[in-house]
Structure 1
Amino acid sequence: MTAAMPALAQDTEGAQKDDGNIIIVTAQFREQNIQDTPLAITAVTADMIEAKSQTNLAQVADAAPNVAIRPQGASFGPSVTASIRGVGQNDFNPAFEPGVGIYIDDVYYPQLTGAIFDLLDVERVEILRGPQGTLTGRNSAGGAIKFYSRKPTGDNTGFLEATYGSRNRIGLRGAADFGFTDNLFMRVSGVFKEQDGYVDRIDYGCAFPNSGIPSTNSGAADCVLSELGGTGYQAVRGILRWEPSDRFEATLSADYVKDDRTIAGEVLLNTGPVPAPNTAVNGVELSNQFICGPFCNYATTGQPAITWQPALNVAPPGNPPFYIDPLGAAGTPLAATSGNDRSIYEGWGVSLNMVLDISDNVQLTSITGYREFDTEFYTDDDLTPINTNFGRNFLSNESFSQELRLNIEPADGINITVGGYYFEQDSVYDSFQDIRYVSVFPLQFRQPDPTAAEAIAVFGNIGWELTDRLTVNAGVRYTDESKDQTYFRLNLDGTINPFLDPLGAINGAGTPGALTGNTASYSADKLDYRVAVDYRWSDALLTYISVSTGFKGGGSNPRPFNAAQLIPFNPEKVTAFEAGFKSDFADNRVRLNGAVFMNDYTDLQIPVSACPTAPCAARLNAGDAEVWGIELEFVAEPVDGLNIDAAVSYIDQELKTSSLNPAATNPSVEISPGVFGTNPAGVVPTDPPAVPQWKFNAGIQYKADLGGSGSITPRLDLAYQDKQYTGPTTLNGVRTLNFMPSFTTLNGRLTWRNANEDLSVSLEVTNITDEYYFLSRFNLLGAGAGFDKALPAAPREWALTVRKDF
């Protein structure tokens, strides 16, 4: 159901037809009224995005039931976590698949890095909830999110928009639409955003000169080194549209994005024991004395050179302590690590969409896309001057996709789509890790690991109106995919690290049993299907039932510290059952849509933060699960000018036990053939879902006509999110469940428009109540890293925006 308010929807091409109460979507390969589509869809138009002061994808997702897209903390760079109905991904590594498909003008965006998209000149955003295995393909097990840009029309229009606000916020937006000829049009749009951060990075030695921690000599009177969580975003897009005849249309799009800012501003919540002597600074160890406050931390940008020592063990009474050093690594020199507190993303893409009407009943569509990006970020995970670990991360990615669709209407009421899809991706995650909290052996290494992926699919879908009230939609998609990841564990001089890869160091890269130079290969094929039946009881009410499948691809552990940690994981598969209704009543002034669903998962993928003999960040297939939930969306215009919208959702799950031992607090699982180890994720069947169980949002606005002076529109938006489970921590045999607390936010906007509605001035205030809440949490206490940290949302902000339409 749409979250857009009918009175605000304007007559933009492809988004509205006939009147503002109708929104056209293309979820089933053809244009349909959203109220005639047997899917749970939230479609948000450009006007609603502006009314809610939304500027990026995460803010749009906040208004959709059972959808969560959040920016990640500094350890994961410029990436997001994305989930729909409890299915998604929280790790940017290209070896993992997202679980939520993201599409820009029908071109698949394959990574979570850079996916906090700015809503630059969009026509609408469609959020499809539930598996989209047949309609959008692989990695849409939770659902899919689709951006549609405004197409050029050649009407010589445009707009300019300027914003100034809290923390020196500066924003500029603009677009121009013009025609070269009567059949060749172009639209150019751009955005520039800057804002200071809201989390202070403080020089601890400067703030506490008697602590024993040396100062970095910042020169700042307040000891603030930088402000984290800032904004530095710029993007430009050009779209060229050619219509040489009424039967052929070609649209060429190109865009460029540069995101250069300080890293995410995290705060330290808790610390734990770090059993390694290599982390202390002048005898000062990691402790809660480094918890700074709600909006500050003591992160550094490097670690000094040291001589590595193993953990000190306590001997029996009367004997001196001794070191545990089975590998004889004591005395190994570790180089100094240096970096900065910046996060940089640079990407560009080009796509070509061609539509040919072969006849009145046959249409061929070709969608070609190419995209690449490079990102660079640095992270001091513990947020303190204590030297537990520091990372320098570089990720490059390029992808190409080609899709062909043939739409056929052989008779009235029958719509058939058949097609094929090809996708390939190459990425290199090149990081240097300096991890000093591990006491068994030194962990200072470089891992320039390339990953190559490929997928081929064929699909078909039919919509058949059996009667003027009863419609059946059915589809299938066959996908064959593969992925190869090659591993390297090197010293800074390019030689093979002997502690991580002893066989490789002795016998050379690529030898049997070595980690360096060896490739983990994954391949799988899957047949997905979908059947939906809907019945229109009247013009005011449609009901539907559906069953659909989807999957998220498998692979191999991308972060092994030795060859024993090459842990494969299988695809995660889901079969979903859904029943819903879509209704319009009170002379189309009220819209109420709802759905209930049950998702049956096989080989559920869960994250693991430790593996045999060392930490890691792997995935395990934890078994099967059932997830069920309810969603309701409401839109009303009780009187002209007054608009109300609301959405509420609930979700729950039950984990099954095909590969976990339900009686164990820390289950033992087979993590690779013949290799058993403890699963530190500690997943048990009673664990709650890793998404908010309850979610609610509501908005209200009234457009007051001021006659010749224009109009004024006040708006308020309220959002509530239940506490969110972020996983367990097991310390000293005690298992603790971690949560991010629930929160409620209130946003407001006051907009004046002139009588011609081509000039507007808006004052917005976000987080009016100054609620303190978290967007993400990262707890590595159970892995021995000694920290538990979180990313707080920004405090209350205001902004003034002036917009002129031409």
Structure 2
Amino acid sequence: MLACATTALCGVPAVALAQDAPVQAPPAAASAQTVTTVDDIIVTARRREERLQDVPLAVTAVAPKALERANITNVSGLRTQAPALIIVPGAGANKSTPTFAIRGQSQQELTILADPSVSLYIGDIVAPRSQGANGGLFDLASVQVLKGPQGTLFGRNSTGGIVQLIPNAPTHEAGGSFGVTVGNFGTLNTEAVVNMPLGDKLAARLAVVSNKDDGYLYDVLLGRNVNFTDNQALRFSLKWDPNDALTNTLVVDAYHSNEGGAGSYVRAVNPNGVFNSAPARTPRNYPTLQQMLADQQARGTLKTASGTPSFSKVETVTVANSTVYDLGDHISVKNIFGYRDVKSHSYEDTDGLPIPLLEIERIFDQHQFSDELQILGQSGNLNWIAGAYYFREKGSDQGASVTGAVDFGDVQPTSVFAYPGWANTWVKAKNTSYAVFAQGTYAFPSVKGLSLTAGVRGNWDKREADILSRTATACRFTMDEDHNSATAETRPTLANCDLPLAVKYSEPTYNVSLDYKFGDGKLVYVAHRHGYRTGGFGARASTEAGLRRTFEPEIVDDVEVGVKADWRFNGAFLRTNLALYSSQYKDIQRLLQDNTVIPITTVTANAQKAQVQGGEFEFLFRPVQSVELSGFWAYADGKFKQFIDPNGVDLSATAFSRTPKNVYSLSARFMPTIPDKIGSELSFGVSYFHSDGFVDNDGAAPTQITYAYELVNLNAELRNVGGTNASIGLYVNNALNEKYDFAMLDVFSSLGFSARTPGDPRTYGVRLKYEF
């Protein structure tokens, strides 16, 4: 969790220091403008509460005040708040399924047979399937972004890092709030929170939120916007502390969405693509894809002629129960139980063309169970934690598609299964993981400020799958009756069109770091970490031999050097946090198209050797109490040292996907002194965000590019208007109306198109909030 000495501190921005944090009162002899101290930020990057500036890791904390001022209501908006964090739509996926990348490490394979390299946590519960993740940003204590492999305390599948959403816990003080935001594009967001003590030993908290807008991508064939928002969420928390030794906290999250899809438009077509020379389509009678592209270019990026009624329906329920018992003698026991259920049904036009060249429908149903037991203690100068972890998920994942289908007219069907030529890759899977871990930090008594941290984790994983891949009339893959790849394979009947598979993986992960606190509020550290991400199966191959081909686990070894420092001079305060890293990867996982078989399939392959180097810098500067400047810069340089794909093609020279070299942000806030009768605090803010261009997909085709873009955001806020409990805020995001986009799907070299989904245009609105 993230805690702060005062409630106002909870306005922490990406720099990991509260931009809203009030400066503590200066000594009586000091000038009124003297800035002497700032409140601490407490994080749990090492599974216990610590000052952020004392943690020898690159961690960014974002508090809800910063998100509220910028009207960021979904996880995807975090990409402008933390260095090194890239969030893009999943390839061919709906708007509720974001893909995370940190330090060049990401995963595009969205099936249940592969795991992400940047793990999303809701509280202490991992959410390996990001469907519905965009609905989690409400009533939070903080968002923490941990960069680099976190394989000791957070487990496998975190070779890139961690994004952790930490809810507010119930307190024994009655109160709450109600807020409403009204903006352009029909935006209407509401949020209500009630915190209620139920006697001396029990407290409850209820938060509900609703987000709605009309969307901004207009389909000229449907006559409406296709990417509208309509989601609701609820969180109920119950905290029981019957005595000083025992605390139990129950958190139940529920999320529901029934909204439009991501929407797409075509950006490029390939004259030599498979379907470019197809016969003229009626009733539109388009002779070529080039003519469709020309018409789209005339429409611009906020209009499309898809005709596909895309949608995204998601329901999730997450239950977390945490029990902490103090055994005395500086030893405590903590148990974390977790359950999550995800149901998702989405339909997307991935080509952005007025013909159904490639429509994808996904039907996903997953539930998971986990339990983690921790023992934490302090033995002299040794601070330690040990524990065991169990995780199991089961699910059904259908990826139905239609390629080059019959034209149904201006408005396409609402399901892929309405087409005669549909195909369905249907996976039923069970994934199980066990782990034991221990980590300790020893403070050397002979050298004040010097500490050594070391941790190790044993991981054992098993992946089981039953793959059913078929069309309406036939099995899509061939099988060897004796399961001997040396003999000819035949196509089984529909009744026998499934293949059970299983594989096991294991790998120890570890970390070691040495840190030294020098001066007042200054820390230097060096860390080495060994991380691991599980392997798995592909599900789209056309033969049994291809389906049995696994992709191997991904291994990373990194070295990170960092300096965290607070500086005070002439009444001013400056915080500078710097981290430099070098990560060496073995068998890094990448998603590729296999064009050597018909139909063309997508496979997950291992790049034998890769390297990512770079760093992040964050700062906060307060020259006087009423002025605040902050910002960050992230630099990443990724390259393959050896990458031979399964067909023997050398891809070592291809670009690293989703890895812009430079991402930076600059922000300024002005907080003038105002009379109490006007309000308690007035602030004006402006921020500038820049991202270099980057390659979207692992295949690195020339059309798979997200171009550089820049965003200017403005906000203003008056708290406790006229001495009341009401506040008002104004925001303008993308004030210069920058046009930018992200990849929807790119199959330029095969099917012959590259489709995009647009980034948010200029949005603005007013936010009213009442606290009681």
- Do residues 597 (structure 1) and 581 (structure 2) align? yes
Q: Distance between the aligned counterparts of 1:686 and 1:451, measured in 2? A: 32
Contact 1:609 1:616 in 2 (8 A): yes
In structure 1, the partner of 2:743 is 776
Please state how far the C-alpha of 1:281 moved relative to its aligned partner: 1.4
Please state how far the C-alpha of 1:540 moved relative to its aligned partner: 3.3
Please state how far the C-alpha of 1:3 moved relative to its aligned partner: 1.7
Amino acid at match of 2:631: A
- Do residues 551 (structure 1) and 542 (structure 2) align? no
Matches within 5 A, 1:526-675: 526-566=507-547, 567-586=549-568, 589-613=573-597, 614-657=599-642, 659-660=643-644, 669=645, 671=646
Q: Distance between the aligned counterparts of 2:213 and 2:605, measured in 1? A: 40
Q: Distance between the aligned counterparts of 1:616 and 1:166, measured in 2? A: 42
In structure 2, the partner of 1:332 is none
Residues 1:741 and 1:295: Cα distance change in structure 2 (over 3 Å): same
Q: Distance between the aligned counterparts of 1:241 and 1:69, measured in 2? A: 33
Matches within 5 A, 1:325-404: 340-404=309-373
- Do residues 172 (structure 1) and 199 (structure 2) align? no
Please state how far the C-alpha of 1:59 moved relative to its aligned partner: 2.1
Please state how far the C-alpha of 1:501 moved relative to its aligned partner: 6.5
Matches within 5 A, 1:406-555: 406-411=375-380, 413-436=381-404, 444-467=422-445, 468-492=448-472, 496-497=474-475, 507-508=492-493, 516-555=497-536
Q: Distance between the aligned counterparts of 1:656 and 1:9, measured in 2? A: 45
In structure 2, the partner of 1:25 is 43
Please state how far the C-alpha of 1:498 moved relative to its aligned partner: 6.3
In structure 2, the partner of 1:215 is none
Q: Secondary structure at the match of 2:325?
A: strand
Please state how far the C-alpha of 1:255 moved relative to its aligned partner: 1.2
Q: Distance between the aligned counterparts of 1:128 and 1:405, measured in 2? A: 20
Please state how far the C-alpha of 1:794 moved relative to its aligned partner: 1.4
Q: Distance between the aligned counterparts of 1:382 and 1:74, measured in 2? A: 9
Amino acid at match of 1:3: V
What value does the CA root-mean-square deviation take over the aligned residues? 2.5
Q: Distance between the aligned counterparts of 1:500 and 1:285, measured in 2? A: 36
Residues 1:385 and 1:775: Cα distance change in structure 2 (over 3 Å): closer
In structure 2, the partner of 1:334 is none
Contact 1:728 1:737 in 2 (8 A): no
Q: Distance between the aligned counterparts of 2:722 and 2:403, measured in 1? A: 62
- Listed one character per residue, the Cα deviations across residues 611-666 of structure 1 (whole Å, up to 9, x for unaligned) are 54131221111210111002100012221122221000111023112x52xxxxxx
Please state how far the C-alpha of 1:266 moved relative to its aligned partner: 1.7
Q: Secondary structure at the match of 2:600?
A: strand
In structure 2, the partner of 1:281 is 281
Residues 1:599 and 1:437: Cα distance change in structure 2 (over 3 Å): farther
Contact 2:589 2:605 in 1 (8 A): yes
Contact 2:70 2:733 in 1 (8 A): no
Please state how far the C-alpha of 1:456 moved relative to its aligned partner: 0.3
Amino acid at match of 2:112: P
- Listed one character per residue, the Cα deviations across residues 1-36 of structure 1 (whole Å, up to 9, x for unaligned) are 96244351489xxxxxx9853101111122110101
In structure 2, the partner of 1:762 is 729
- Listed one character per residue, the Cα deviations across residues 709-735 of structure 1 (whole Å, up to 9, x for unaligned) are 1132111111000011224879xxxx7
**TM-score for the superposition, normalised by structure 2:** 0.88
In structure 1, the partner of 2:692 is 722
Contact 2:692 2:707 in 1 (8 A): yes
Contact 1:275 1:437 in 2 (8 A): no
Contact 2:557 2:584 in 1 (8 A): yes
Q: Distance between the aligned counterparts of 1:168 and 1:502, measured in 2? A: 57
Contact 1:239 1:253 in 2 (8 A): yes
Q: Secondary structure at the match of 1:148?
A: strand
Please state how far the C-alpha of 1:446 moved relative to its aligned partner: 2.8
What is the aligned counterpart of 1:405 among 374, 382, 391? 374
Q: Secondary structure at the match of 2:339?
A: strand
In structure 1, the partner of 2:139 is 121
Please state how far the C-alpha of 1:61 moved relative to its aligned partner: 3.3
Q: Secondary structure at the match of 1:119?
A: coil
Residues 1:99 and 1:729: Cα distance change in structure 2 (over 3 Å): closer
Contact 2:135 2:255 in 1 (8 A): no
Please state how far the C-alpha of 1:111 moved relative to its aligned partner: 1.1
Q: Distance between the aligned counterparts of 2:404 and 2:148, measured in 1? A: 42
Residues 1:410 and 1:641: Cα distance change in structure 2 (over 3 Å): same
Q: Distance between the aligned counterparts of 2:39 and 2:259, measured in 1? A: 40
Q: Distance between the aligned counterparts of 1:626 and 1:199, measured in 2? A: 38
Residues 1:342 and 1:688: Cα distance change in structure 2 (over 3 Å): closer
Q: Distance between the aligned counterparts of 2:190 and 2:686, measured in 1? A: 24
Contact 1:497 1:505 in 2 (8 A): no
- Listed one character per residue, the Cα deviations across residues 514-570 of structure 1 (whole Å, up to 9, x for unaligned) are xx3212322110101100100112113210000001112111112223334323100
- Listed one character per residue, the Cα deviations across residues 178-210 of structure 1 (whole Å, up to 9, x for unaligned) are 01111100000010011011111122xxxxxxx
Residues 1:436 and 1:501: Cα distance change in structure 2 (over 3 Å): farther
Identical columns (%): 25
Q: Secondary structure at the match of 1:116?
A: helix
Residues 1:778 and 1:652: Cα distance change in structure 2 (over 3 Å): same
Please state how far the C-alpha of 1:44 moved relative to its aligned partner: 1.5
**TM-score for the superposition, normalised by structure 1:** 0.84
Bigger Cα displacement from structure 2, 277-286 vs 25-34: 277-286
Amino acid at match of 2:458: Y
Q: Distance between the aligned counterparts of 2:711 and 2:223, measured in 1? A: 30
Question: Aligned pair count?
Answer: 710
Q: Secondary structure at the match of 1:704?
A: coil
Amino acid at match of 2:305: Y
Q: Distance between the aligned counterparts of 2:336 and 2:22, measured in 1? A: 27
Q: Distance between the aligned counterparts of 1:405 and 1:497, measured in 2? A: 48
Amino acid at match of 1:538: G
Matches within 5 A, 1:64-103: 64-72=82-90, 75-76=93-94, 78-103=96-121
Residues 1:199 and 1:646: Cα distance change in structure 2 (over 3 Å): same
Contact 1:382 1:786 in 2 (8 A): no
Please state how far the C-alpha of 1:395 moved relative to its aligned partner: 0.7
Please state how far the C-alpha of 1:279 moved relative to its aligned partner: 7.0
What is the aligned counterpart of 1:6 among 7, 15, 18? 18
Q: Secondary structure at the match of 1:624?
A: strand
In structure 2, the partner of 1:336 is none
Contact 1:531 1:547 in 2 (8 A): yes
Bigger Cα displacement from structure 2, 720-729 vs 429-438: 429-438
Q: Distance between the aligned counterparts of 2:512 and 2:17, measured in 1? A: 30
Q: Distance between the aligned counterparts of 1:342 and 1:686, measured in 2? A: 34
- Do residues 802 (structure 1) and 768 (structure 2) align? yes
Q: Distance between the aligned counterparts of 1:300 and 1:347, measured in 2? A: 29
Amino acid at match of 1:382: D
